């Protein structure tokens, strides 16, 4: 006779379900409701169906912001993930230098987003900022407030300075978790440094790299405070990303219906690409295992 299964453990999940329902599902359903209505006030709204979605599909400003967002996010991943791996490989594994290196790397992560924008606003000013004066002093015509390319590159460098430490710390934790037996076997076999990285460290880092890629993609795709403080989205629309476009639509113009539809599209894009990254990294990890 089979022993009855105790199902009481499911009651432990109920608080989590309640919290998630309150903090995520209920607001999401509210946004879905708003996205199919034209809202004029608390008691004045009309059902419009998919009108806002169709309008957004033909919105040239939204298309431009989306392209800028993809370019920025992919640039962030292309720089910060390899740089994080490279820095973590050079960090000390034992001794007093470990604590010093970890604290030093953690400092940029402790700076609030809006303060990061303010720091770089002063640091990159072409008249009094250390970086701006230095770049102009060596012959570069640098001005992030007037040149779109300078503004975009400045926002990118600012993000790299702020968030590369996250990739470094994740990769360092993954490297520390690799048993010494793997390195001992590699030394016995006479493996080169590249072979150790290719066949031991990189496969073992698959899990933390997946976390780093997903976190950095999602966070970079919703970046708002830093470029808003640094450039205000300018010059022109050079650094106007999706989050700023959405904020302008919802808060500045008070177009709640289009903004709700926009936010759902925004959410689905992040969800889709995060899933794609998850699948690709998993497959690559299996290929190098």
What is the value of pTM for the model shown? 0.84
What's the mean pLDDT in 34-51?
82
The more confident residue out of 2 and 8 is 8
182-235 residue pLDDT tens: 989 999 888 898 999 988 998 888 889 888 998 999 899 988 888 989 988 888
> Residue 162 — pLDDT band, cuts 50, 70, 90?
very high
Q: What is the mean pLDDT of the chain?
A: 87
pLDDT at residue 83 tops 90? yes
> Residue 39 — pLDDT band, cuts 50, 70, 90?
confident
pLDDT at residue 278 tops 80? yes
The torsion angles phi and psi of 191, rounded to 5 degrees, stand at -70, 145
In the DSSP assignment, the letter for residue 47 is E
Report the alpha-carbon angle 43-48-51, nearest 5. Answer: 135
Domain ranges in the chain?
45-288
> Residue 25 — pLDDT band, cuts 50, 70, 90?
confident
What pLDDT is recorded for position 89? 92
Q: Judge whether 167 and 216 are in contact, CB under 8 Å.
A: yes
Q: What CATH number has the domain spanning 45-288?
A: 1.10.3720.10
pLDDT at residue 1 tops 90? no
Say which residues have a Cβ less than 8 Å from residue 113's Cβ, sequence separation at least 6: 224, 225, 226
Q: Judge whether 69 and 77 are in contact, CB under 8 Å.
A: no
Say which residues have a Cβ less than 8 Å from residue 261's Cβ, sequence separation at least 6: 35, 36, 52, 53, 56
């Amino acid at each position: 006779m089979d022993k009855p299964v105790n199902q009481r453990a499911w009651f432990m999940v109920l608080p989590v379900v309640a919290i998630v329902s309150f903090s995520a599902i209920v607001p999401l359903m509210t946004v879905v409701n708003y996205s199919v209505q034209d809202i004029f006030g608390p008691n004045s709204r009309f059902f419009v169906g998919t009108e806002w979605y169709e309008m957004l599909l033909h919105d040239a400003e939204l298309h431009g912001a989306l392209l800028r967002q993809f370019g920025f996010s992919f640039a962030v991943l292309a720089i910060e993930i390899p740089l994080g791996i490279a820095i973590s490989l050079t960090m000390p594994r034992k001794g007093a230098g470990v604590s010093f290196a970890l604290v030093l790397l953690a400092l940029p992560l402790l700076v609030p987003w809006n303060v990061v924008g303010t720091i770089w606003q002063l640091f990159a000013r072409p008249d009094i900022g250390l970086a701006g004066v230095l770049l102009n002093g060596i012959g570069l015509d640098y001005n992030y407030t007037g040149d779109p390319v300078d503004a975009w590159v400045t926002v990118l460098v600012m993000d790299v300075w702020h968030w590369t430490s996250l990739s470094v710390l994740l990769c360092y934790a993954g490297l520390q978790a690799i048993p010494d037996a793997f390195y001992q076997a590699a030394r016995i076999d006479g493996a080169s440094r590249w072979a150790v990285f290719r066949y031991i460290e990189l496969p073992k880092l698959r899990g933390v790299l997946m976390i780093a890629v997903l976190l950095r993609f999602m966070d970079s795709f919703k970046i708002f405070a830093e470029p808003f403080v640094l450039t205000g989205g300018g010059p022109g629309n050079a650094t106007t990303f999706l989050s700023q476009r959405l904020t302008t639509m919802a808060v500045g113009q008070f177009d709640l219906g289009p903004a709700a539809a926009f936010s759902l599209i925004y959410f689905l894009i992040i969800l889709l690409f995060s899933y794609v990254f998850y699948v690709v990294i998993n497959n690559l990890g299996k290929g190098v295992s």
